[in-house]
């Protein structure tokens, strides 16, 4: 009888480990319903098609996802090199549903998911700096979604789309790694330039 | 036998407590208990066009270093 109880406890401990690992694992697939991100761009970053994942050059990997549109997804591209990948993926999960909304409702959803006030200048929380970084990443996701939509509609080919998404991913990584606003602004200039050349 | 049953209950409570403390459930990235003030939707930024989003990014960058 004692053995049965001990086996039961050990079984619970082992199974609880897997439950925990599925929630915060940096390498696992995001399986929560909240991880359902409709953004085409986001889908582009979270695919799991082995053929695309095996591509070593990022731009080609993104292009592969754009062209194959796999249904299932794994770790977002910009989270791959993140210092805290679990937090990076959690941000993804928290904001995913917001992209179904439009205009001010979308902004409201994003800021609430991140924990920001409507006006950043009025937000006096100690974490405003970090939250604002998350918010800018969320806005970059929005741009990425627009690129994918343009690609889906045939307004932008996969090569051009991949170049822009790669730049967006680089900026998100830079923001996540804590670079200064001046550096981000420089990168944003490059993105705007690409945007004007390809989309406008 | 009783000791084993008590031990089992304690283990279950500890496991339950562990997951409770590690979960948020609010959908917020920040798991603190900080209350988000309910603000009218008009006070939020309009993210209608890509220009709006670029503009919002520009203005938000002011706050990423401070």
Higher pLDDT, A77 or A144: A144
Task: Calculate the alpha carbon distances from B8 to A10, B13, B20 in Å.
Answer: 10, 9, 18
ipTM over 0.90: no
Location of structure tokens 């008009």: B42
Is A146–B50 a contact, with Cβ atoms under 8 angstroms apart?
A: yes
pLDDT digits (tens, 9 = 90+) for B31-41: 444 566 688 89
> Mean per-residue pLDDT for A182-196?
94
Which among A86, A3, A9, A25 has a CA at the least distance from the CA of B15? Answer: A9
Higher pLDDT, A172 or A73: A172
Helices of type H across chain A = 2-24, 40-45, 50-53, 58-68, 85-95, 103-114, 128-152, 158-176, 181-198
Say whether A134 sits in a helix, a strand or coil.
Answer: helix
A14 against B4, higher pLDDT: B4
pLDDT at A31: 33
Average pLDDT of the residues in A55-74: 82
* CA A19 to chain centroid: 22
Contacts of A58 (CB under 8 A, 6+ apart): A77, A166, A169
Size of interface A-B (CB pairs under 8 A): 132
Of B25, B65, B42, B33, which Cα lies nearest the Cα of A107?
B42
* pLDDT confidence of residue A54: 81
Chain B: closest CA distance from residue A56 (Å):
30
User: At CA A99, angle to CA A96 and CA A101, rounded to 5?
Assistant: 130
A55-79: average pLDDT: 82
**Residue A23: band (very low, low, confident or very high) from pLDDT cuts 50, 70, 90:** very low
User: Shortest CB distance from B15 goes to which of A1, A16, A103?
Assistant: A16
pLDDT digits (tens, 9 = 90+) for B15-52: 776 666 555 444 445 544 456 668 889 899 999 999 99
CB-based contact A18:A26 (threshold 8 Å): no
The pLDDT-based confidence of A40 (bands split at 50, 70, 90) is very low
Q: Distance (Å, rounded) from C-alpha A16 to C-alpha A137?
A: 32
| B44 vs A87, A104, A132: nearest CB | A104
Residue A56 has pLDDT above 70, yes or no: yes
- Give the whole-number percent of chain A exceeding pLDDT 70: 72
* Mean pLDDT value across chain A: 78
Chain A residue at shortest CA distance from B55: A139
pLDDT at B22: 54
Name which of B15, B42, B45 is nearest A12 (Cβ-Cβ): B15
Q: Is A167 in contact with A125 (CB distance < 8 Å)? A: no
For residues A166 and A55, is the Cβ–Cβ distance under 8 A?
Answer: no
Kindly state the percentage of chain A with pLDDT values over 90: 42
B15-18, Cβ contacts within 8 angstroms, sequence gap of 24 or more: B15/A12, B15/A13, B15/A16, B18/A16
For residue B53, list chain A residues with Cβ-Cβ distance below 8 A. 139, 142-143, 146
Q: Are A48 and A42 in contact (CB under 8 A)?
A: no
Name the closest residue on chain A to residue B58, using Cα atoms. A185
Question: Chain B partners of A128 at a C-beta cutoff of 8 Å?
Answer: 63
Q: Do B29 and A133 touch (CB under 8 A)?
A: no
Top-confidence residue, A6 or A70: A70
pLDDT in tens, A72-81: 566 788 888 7
Contact list in B for residue A136 (CB cut-off 8 A) is 57, 60-61, 64
d(CA A159, CA A154): 12
């Amino acid at each position: 009888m004692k053995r049965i109880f001990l086996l039961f406890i050990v079984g619970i401990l082992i199974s609880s480990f897997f439950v925990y690992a599925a929630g915060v694992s940096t390498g696992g697939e995001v399986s929560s319903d909240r991880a359902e991100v409709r953004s085409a761009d986001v889908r582009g970053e979270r695919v799991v098609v082995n053929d695309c994942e095996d591509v070593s050059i990022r731009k080609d990997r993104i292009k592969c996802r754009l062209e194959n549109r796999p249904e299932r997804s794994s770790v977002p591209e910009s989270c791959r090199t993140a210092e805290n990948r679990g937090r990076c993926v959690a941000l993804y999960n928290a904001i995913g549903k917001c992209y179904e909304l439009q205009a001010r409702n979308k902004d409201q959803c994003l800021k609430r998911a991140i924990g920001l006030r409507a006006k950043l200048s009025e937000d006096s929380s100690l974490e405003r700096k970090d939250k604002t970084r998350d918010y800018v990443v969320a806005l970059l996701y929005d741009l990425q979604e627009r690129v994918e939509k343009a690609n889906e509609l045939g307004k932008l080919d996969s090569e051009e789309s991949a170049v822009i998404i790669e730049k967006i991913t680089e900026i998100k990584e830079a923001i996540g790694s804590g670079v200064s606003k001046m550096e981000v602004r420089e990168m944003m200039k490059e993105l705007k330039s690409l945007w004007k050349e390809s989309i406008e | 036998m009783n000791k084993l049953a008590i031990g089992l209950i304690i283990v279950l409570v500890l496991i339950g407590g562990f997951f409770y403390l590690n979960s948020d459930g609010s959908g917020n990235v920040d798991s603190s208990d900080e209350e988000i003030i309910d603000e009218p939707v008009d006070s939020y930024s309009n993210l209608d066009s890509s220009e709006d989003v670029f503009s919002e990014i520009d203005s938000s960058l002011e706050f990423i270093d401070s």
